[in-house]
Structure 1
């Protein structure tokens, strides 16, 4: 498996798992019912987008990353991740996460902030903590989970200084 920069040609492989993840209503606040073109615009929004591919070139996951805020907040990065359900448990999220941390370090970011990690997404919370992120706060009832109702959103941070 390897991580490479994504191109617009990768979107047809990303779209099915992007759509499945968003429509499940458990981890992202992207709009439900987004068309493929709307979703592509949200994912390829000027951020650095990568894909993780297997030996056959099949896209197993994708991540986007860049500054969390413009201007005076641009020294802190952020990222979002999507992993195909068929590839979960194979280290795809970890490899994408490690790539994201390394890239932010190489680019000179002071830290990485995740604005909204759903507290019931325990696999993601555990992964980010394994990679050194800390929960710096939780906004109560800020995410409307399809399964759990209103749950908290963790703000997570990794200091790169």
Structure 2
């Protein structure tokens, strides 16, 4: 698996991965009816470092890394990860997480924080905990899951130093 910086030439491949995840509305606090243009503008937003994971040129996943806060919190990054539906269960999320943990210090980050992990996304929670992230906060009923109703969102954190 190769993980490389994304370019705008990857728009179609990135949208093909984002669309089913955003439309499902069960893991991201994104309007499920978001347009292609708005989704790509969000993913490739200002000051975001965007990457694509691929195997033999086939996109398997994408992630972004961005400064979580400005000023005194600018040394903490936030990331978002999406795996292609066809590539789930193949270690793509773990590979992107490992890549982001390795890359973050090179961008000046000393910690990584996930601000809003939907508690019912148990696969992601297990991956992040397995990589040393701690649940440092719980937001009761903060996410309206389309099938399960109001569920908790988690704040997860890991130092990189």
TM-score normalised to structure 1 length: 0.96
What is aligned with 2:89? 89
* 1:1-40 alignment, distance < 5 Å: 1-40=1-40
Segments of 4+ moved more than 2 angstroms: 105-108
CA distance in 2, matches of 1:4, 1:151: 34
Structure 1 residue 78: Cα displacement: 0.8
What is aligned with 2:62? 62
Query: Number of residue pairs matched?
Result: 160
What is aligned with 1:113? 113
CA distance in 2, matches of 1:22, 1:133: 24
Structure 2: any 5+ residue segments left out of the alignment?
Answer: none
Structure 1 residue 106: Cα displacement: 2.7
CA distance in 2, matches of 1:31, 1:8: 22
What is aligned with 1:156? 156
Structure 1 residue 34: Cα displacement: 1.2
Structure 1: any 5+ residue segments left out of the alignment?
Answer: none
Structure 1 residue 32: Cα displacement: 2.1
CA distance in 2, matches of 1:34, 1:24: 11
